[in-house]
Amino acid sequence: MKALKYTDSTSYTMKYETNPSHGVPVRGVILAFTASIIIIISMGMGPVSSPSSVPRNDTMHGGRMAPSDDPVINFTVVDVRSWGLSNEQQYLLASLEGLINHDEGQLFIVWTSQDNRWLQSLNNTPYNASYSPATNLSQLLAIYDDHVDGIIIFDDLPESANIATPLVGINNSIMVHESIASSVLGYPALADEPVMVNLTAEYTAQGFTSETHRADIYHWAFDRYFTACNQSALALFDSEHPRHIRSQLAGNAIFTMWRPLYVDVYDDDDVLIASEDDDKSQDCFEHVIENTPQNMIVYGYMYPAGSNEHPVVSRLSANGKYLVPSDWFQNMPFYQNLPLPDSFEFQQEYNITDIDLEDKIYITGIYSDGDNVQFVQGYMKDQLWDCSGDVDGPNGTIPCTRGMVPTTWEMSPSIVRLAPALAYHYYANATSNDHFVTGVGGKGYTKAKYMTRDFFQVFWEDTRDLMREMDMRVIRPWSGDFKKMIDIMNNDPAAPSQADGLIDGYGGSNDPFPRIISGVPVMGMLGFSAGNSAEARDELEDMLALAKSKPAGPAFYAYHLHCWSTSYNAWASFVLNLTATGMFEVVTAQDFVHLISMSGVARKQAIAHVLAQVISWGIPGLVIVAAVGSLRARGTSPRRLQANSNHGKRTPIERFQKSQQVGEP
């Protein structure tokens, strides 16, 4: 494994490496001393910028269809749940889906019950679905045969499906597994279609067998095919998975690799379940990302282990790539190219003029993981947005209704290019208590301190433009040069300022008090994890205890609501019972940063918070909190760290770090 290299040759990259919160003088002598030790231990220099300019590739920028001026937008549905498709047949259908929807959102495939739920949301004005008469693959191919110019033969040899995937878009041909090729070629629609590429024969010619190292296969495929592939995207996806994001990768000719792994992965009983990729595989992965264009979106995901995120994402960032977690996203080609209604604009409600600044504690809660677009499509809608059941309020139990309490939702601004029709549903159905901010990291998941300065500039300019289109004005970074981000956001001569505030970090690992950078509020977060009413009461007790140290005047705290463990019902219960005390007001993130700007309390609250931590936890507690935050930033597994700590009653420090225990996405 090659280590990422650092340099101290420029003072500019020094700014990238330094967390702005470390430079806040008002934290007091004790905290400053503690933080300085951590900085000395953990600081490295960012990479030197390439002198060449970063190209503005259009991976996702050209995908959105022009708004339709038709009063009704029609599309076709095919429900394949009863077709009994084998894995081999699913590869074929996924590749066909990518070809059919490449230029227009024509065909929506119901693979699962989740797709069917989304269909019910879409099948209304201005959209109208009609069902295809096809009841099998042969009939479906007969309807859409004008989209297919040939076939790509692949098989079960290592990585064959991934190598075949971009060949679909290059050759306008469907993927056909060697085991079903004879029957598929018997379909009337394919009777005269040629075999454009036979990977089985290509593998044989290269001497590849079931024992061939995957690095040898990917090096060969990269050299042979990449120049014909999409030059503005890469993908990380298991070759064994036949559908999901594969339709997007196939239709857009995106070079697809395996999901890299840079760490050993253990289960909760410390049993090894996955071993780190060998050096040859890691060298191959790094060769590809080092020898492809800058500013590339990376679809899919690395091997899904929290401790694997840092080494993979940092390498992508250092080589001008940004990750959009999307491996399990369904029907992306359809969502990407389905027109929006002609009159629709992405707009949000702003309530700031209705809120008076009082001597209260102001709270905002932001649901995590919106950078993960498959979460936005799946869990966010099914488990959070479409809430059900009851909420325990101060006066008894009431039915859960989304919008009953102010809630902020992360959503990748890239979704406006990748799946605008999906984003349309959320914006069109949002209440005045729902607000959207960027997913963590901006337009994609990155590690800002590893970027070259050129890539940093273009990345945040693109993020700014996407935010503007989605009417987002609060950024969710994860460390980096906040001043530079704000300057990029707010010094665009062609348009108004875009950043009203930055709310930093993931899972509550950042200093939870406000400061002002370049005139813009910047705020860290407390972690929040509550799956039921009892856990919501625990969080309530913690906040009531914290409120005892509140100085005179308003104070502010932001919660990162860990999406996988915090139900909407529990969050609503927390908010209703908290505000019933009369000491608190809960607002959306947009209103929250405006109130901070109005208040001028950043310095006063910072001092009060540090003193409260010293009193309740002591100096050792501060050292541990700072050390855990530093290790998290450097990629150390929180579970490993926790293995050597108290496993009994949760300490305040463990509660503070609680929602870091499950990594993204």
Superfamily of domain 358-628: GxGYxYP glycoside hydrolase, C-terminal domain (3.20.20.490)
The 10s digit of each residue's pLDDT in 162-171 is: 999 999 999 9
Per-residue confidence (pLDDT) for residue 565, from 0 to 100? 96
Region of 309 on the Ramachandran plot (φ > 0 left; ψ -120 to 50 alpha; else beta) = alpha
Q: Where are the beta strands (DSSP E) in 132-283?
A: 150-154, 173-177, 195-198, 233-236, 255-257, 265-266, 272-274
In sequence order, the 6+-apart residues with CB closer than 8 A to the CB of 192 are: none
CA distances from 105 to 74, 129, 395 (A): 9, 12, 48
| Residue 435: φ, ψ to 5° | -140, 150
Residue matched to tokens 């790094």: 286
The 10s digit of each residue's pLDDT in 618-643 is: 655 555 545 444 433 333 332 222 22
Per-residue confidence (pLDDT) for residue 197, from 0 to 100? 98
The Cα–Cα gap between 75 and 107 comes to 6
Q: Which spans in 226-300 are helix H? A: 246-251, 279-290
Per-residue confidence (pLDDT) for residue 630, from 0 to 100? 40
520-523 and 501-503 beta bridge pairing: parallel
Per-residue confidence (pLDDT) for residue 614, from 0 to 100? 60
Which residue positions in the chain have pLDDT lower than 70?
Answer: 1-69, 353, 509-510, 601-665
- Going across the sheet that includes 296-300, the strands are 255-257, 233-236, 296-300, 321-325
Residue ranges per structural domain of the chain: 73-337, 358-628
